[in-house]
Structure 1
Amino acid sequence: MNPIEWLFDAQLHIGTQTILWREIIGNLFGILSAVGGMRRKIWAWPIGIAGNALLFTVFMGVLFSTPNPVNLLGQAGRQVMFIIVSIYGWIQWSRSRNSTVHAAVVPHWAGNRTRILLGLGLVAGTLVLTPIFRALGSFEPVWADAWIFTGSLLATYGMAKGWTEFWLIWVAVDIVGVPLLVSAGYYASAILYVFYGAFTITGFFIWMRVQRRRRDFVERELTGTV
């Protein structure tokens, strides 16, 4: 059996539950990508893309003949979206790499207008996608699947732009995502979403601290105290 066949067939059995190793590995890649994003490292993007590709095969259960027949179209679709937006983010961070701070992006606030647009976009996207996902046969509650997809899109775009608020969007995604994944039987993803939640809260405060330090440094430069 070659490595690709093993990756697609390998399963972990816990009691009566069957968990694909693809689901575990894909989510571990996601956590590693979150760590890279927290540290503002460009390698966070390609690592995340690899995890997204694996998780797409997991959430389209029927298409890839997985033990879990439940299709979460929002979860599967967001993996494709992640790959597309991650390529954009990878390019953005590569262009804005700052050798002075040894990081790919300088965190900054999005601003009140953008925050309002992000909030409206999250609600509007959920409302628009819910009937579409329901018609395609996504798992109930479909609004939760649509919320996760929309929030993930906005959060990934916010990360690419360097907006510190993107971490809070991930918190909103995780709050809805954990119960949905548990009810759909994707236990590995649900457990790892809890870890995602811890990372997102930590990442938010780390980026705020970076902003504060940079602001203090600029102020000292302007006042000639550096």
Structure 2
Amino acid sequence: MLQSLYEFWTAAAGGGPLEWVAVLTGFACVWLAARESLWNFPVAIFSCALFVVVYYQAKLYSDCGLQGAFILLSVYGWYEWLHGGQNRAELPVSRTRPWEWVACLLFITAFTVGFGYYLQTRTDAALPHWDSLTTAISLAAQYLLMRKRLENWWLWIVVDVMYVPILWYKQLYPTSALYALYLGLALYGFLEWRRTLQRQQAPSSAFQPA
């Protein structure tokens, strides 16, 4: 029993400073996103760069590539939040369009099956299809976040629930704990953005965000 506890704490601390810095900056960028702060993007870029190394070492290759995609999407999202609204104004919070839900569902299905098969047959990936599924949902959620769609937080809640046991299984204990905290942040972000949307719609029920 004592040996098991020792092994647990050794593994938790053994993630090293790289994983811990990635965890702390990852938490910060989600909190900033929930607060609708533009600072979430530069912090996210830095955090994702660190997680590229963390996930590569854990043989979670799909999630490793996901971090690279997040870096590119964060650059685009930074611009969108600043100039993506009507007449290049700041982008307001809005609801997800029906066609976006359909596109996200098709993308998640195709990516999970296709990339999961590739990882299973061509690499030594630890959890090829689960890895691909969480990656696909995360990309869909990130797209909705870039467009300031309120429901992006729903997808983050789903993927956070999945990531906690996967990362625990791979003995990435600090990162697993981070995703458990993300659940609370995602709920907080949803409530904050919903209040923002209600304030936007208050002057005129006919208002339609970009």
Bin of the TM-score, shorter chain as denominator length: 0.7 to 0.9
Question: Letter of the aligned partner of 1:137 in structure 2?
Answer: D
Q: 1:19 — aligned with what?
A: 15
1:42 and 1:104 in contact (8 A); partners too: no
TM-score (norm 2): 0.86
Matched residue count: 196
Deviation at 1:97, TM superposition (A): 7.6
**Secondary structure at the residue paired with 1:110?**
coil
| Deviation sequence 1:52-72 (CA, Å, 0-9, x none) | 0111111111xxxxxxxx311
| Deviation sequence 1:10-39 (CA, Å, 0-9, x none) | xxx963322222112112111111111112
Q: 2:34 aligns with which of 27, 32, 38?
A: 38
Q: Which runs of 4+ in 1 moved over 2 A?
A: 13-16, 217-221
1:40 and 1:105 in contact (8 A); partners too: no
Higher relative contact order (CA 8 A, sep 6+): 2
Distance 2:131 2:125 in 1: 8
Deviation at 1:219, TM superposition (A): 4.2
Q: 2:80 aligns with which of 60, 73, 92?
A: 92
| Deviation sequence 1:164-191 (CA, Å, 0-9, x none) | 1111111121121111101111111100
Task: Write out aligned runs for 1:39-188 (5 A).
Answer: 39-61=35-57, 70-96=58-84, 104-134=90-120, 135-140=122-127, 142-188=128-174
Q: 2:190 aligns with which of 204, 207, 222?
A: 204
Q: Percent identity?
A: 24
Unmatched runs of 5 consecutive residues or more in structure 2: 1-6
Cα RMSD (Å): 2.2
Q: Decide whether aligned partners of structure 1 residues 195 and 216 sit closer, same or farther in structure 2, where only a CA change above 3 A counts.
A: same
Q: Decide whether aligned partners of structure 1 residues 60 and 39 sit closer, same or farther in structure 2, where only a CA change above 3 A counts.
A: same
Deviation at 1:113, TM superposition (A): 2.3
1:155 and 1:167 in contact (8 A); partners too: yes
Q: Decide whether aligned partners of structure 1 residues 220 and 97 sit closer, same or farther in structure 2, where only a CA change above 3 A counts.
A: closer
Distance 1:220 1:155 in 2: 27
Distance 1:14 1:146 in 2: 27
1:72 and 1:138 in contact (8 A); partners too: yes
Unmatched runs of 5 consecutive residues or more in structure 1: 1-12, 62-69, 222-226
Deviation at 1:220, TM superposition (A): 10
* Structure (1/2) with the larger helix percentage: 2
Rg larger for: 1
Distance 1:75 1:114 in 2: 23
Q: 1:192 — aligned with what?
A: 178
1:144 and 1:177 in contact (8 A); partners too: no
Distance 2:92 2:9 in 1: 47
**Secondary structure at the residue paired with 2:161?**
helix
Deviation at 1:105, TM superposition (A): 3.1
